[in-house]
Copies of this chain bind each other. A is one copy, B any other.
Amino acid sequence: MKNPSKIGVGVIGTGRIGKLHIEHLSQIIPDAELIAICSLDTETAEIFAEQFNIPKVTSDYRTLLDDSQIDAVIVASSTDTHVEICQAAAEAGKHIFCEKPIALDLEQINETLRIVEKAGVKFQVGFNRRFDANFRRVREAVASGEIGEPHILRITSRDPAPPPIEYVKVSGGIFLDMTIHDFDMARYLIGDEVVEVYAVGCVRVDPKIGEVGDIDTTIITLRFQNGVLATIDNSREAVYGYDQRVEVFGSKGMVAAGNPLTDTVTFSGSEGSRTASPPDFFVERYKAAYLSELQAFIQCIQEGTQPPVTGADGRAPIVMGYAALKSLRENRPVLLSEIL
């Protein structure tokens, strides 16, 4: 029987990120109780239920919405299911943690946010990088005025290897799939809205990516309402590992987060010194951030506060993604106000 002092949670989706949430909810977050998991992959779901002592397993997410022990759902299923599940969950009065992106269709996002708002449930979007201790420290340095008035933001974000071409095809393109994290990071670090986007891009990593209409290398310029200028660069393949650095430059100084490395060892020989690489895998890099975001979600339910990443925060990077795409196609800066 559920502990009444805990938040009852159901997890929908048992992919890589779903599994991580299941682990964290069942083992580490004391204020949550994992009541049920839902997956179309019933075999994996059964294994997880066994491994993590989860009472209930289902392949129909409505079972979770009907369960009165469940206060909140974690939506970690494939992107095309988010809208339907989120809307149903809101109508069932469940609080919602939804993986990014909410959807690729702006009208669907708008509709979902309207339903969520009307239902009055908490709605948090899974921009996990905001919870990374390094980026958080950078945000604090900006918010506290430690670097004075911010002038320039630089974000580098490069994946260790491109996803399978089948995934690229349905991903919505690099801006909605990959840069979306950087768009969110830009808004988070500066604490202001972007008004204009300019993107250049090309295919350098793999011609197949070009053949399906996408690019794999891009530089994006952002202008913020408050005058800050930003540059983001992305690549689908950095052979030295997952490369995600940010730097904010302001009137009183600069704050920058570098890559963590897999060890602290230096070898010095006749050819110079060698140090380790950043991790190759996003789970390794952001494990603690995934835990923190979920803890924050449980906490905002308990304390009745606003989630730290709102529906509006989930929507804005999608708008920026469409602006970037339009900019790339028309080779001109695009105002966000031009989108929808």
Which A residues fall within an 8 A CB radius of B? Answer: 27, 53, 133-134, 137-138, 141, 146-147, 149, 151-152, 154, 156, 158, 198, 200-202, 204-205, 217-219, 221, 223, 227, 229-231, 233, 235, 237-240, 243, 249, 251-260, 262-277, 331-333
Copies in the complex: 4
CB pair B217 A229 closer than 8 Å: yes
Q: A154-B233, A204-B149 are known contacts. Are A272 and B277 too (CB-CB below 8 A)?
A: yes
Which residues in B have their C-beta under 8 angstroms from that of A332?
332-333
With A and B bound together, what is the CA distance between A271 and B266 in angstroms?
13
Q: Which of B200, B227, B230, B273 contacts A277 (CB 8 A)?
A: B273
CB pair B151 A204 closer than 8 Å: yes
**Most chain B beta-carbon neighbours within 10 Å: one of A53, A230, A237, A251:** A251
CB pair B217 A263 closer than 8 Å: no
Q: Which of B198, B229, B331 contacts A202 (CB 8 A)?
A: B229
CB pair A263 B137 closer than 8 Å: yes
Which residues in B have their C-beta under 8 angstroms from that of A229?
200-202, 217-219, 233
Give the nearest-CB partner of A158 in chain B. B249
With A and B bound together, what is the CA distance between A11 and B253 in angstroms?
39
Q: A53-B53, A275-B273 are known contacts. Are A257 and B265 too (CB-CB below 8 A)?
A: yes
CB pair B221 A200 closer than 8 Å: yes
The 4 closest A-B pairs by CB, nearest first: A253-B269, A240-B268, A258-B264, A151-B204
Give the nearest-CB partner of A203 in chain B. B227
Q: Which of B217, B251, B274 contacts A274 (CB 8 A)?
A: B274
Apart from A255-B267, A272-B275: 8 A-B pairs, beta carbons within 8 A? A133-B262, A133-B263, A200-B223, A238-B254, A239-B251, A257-B265, A258-B266, A273-B277
Min distance, Cβ A117 to any Cβ of chain B, angstroms: 35
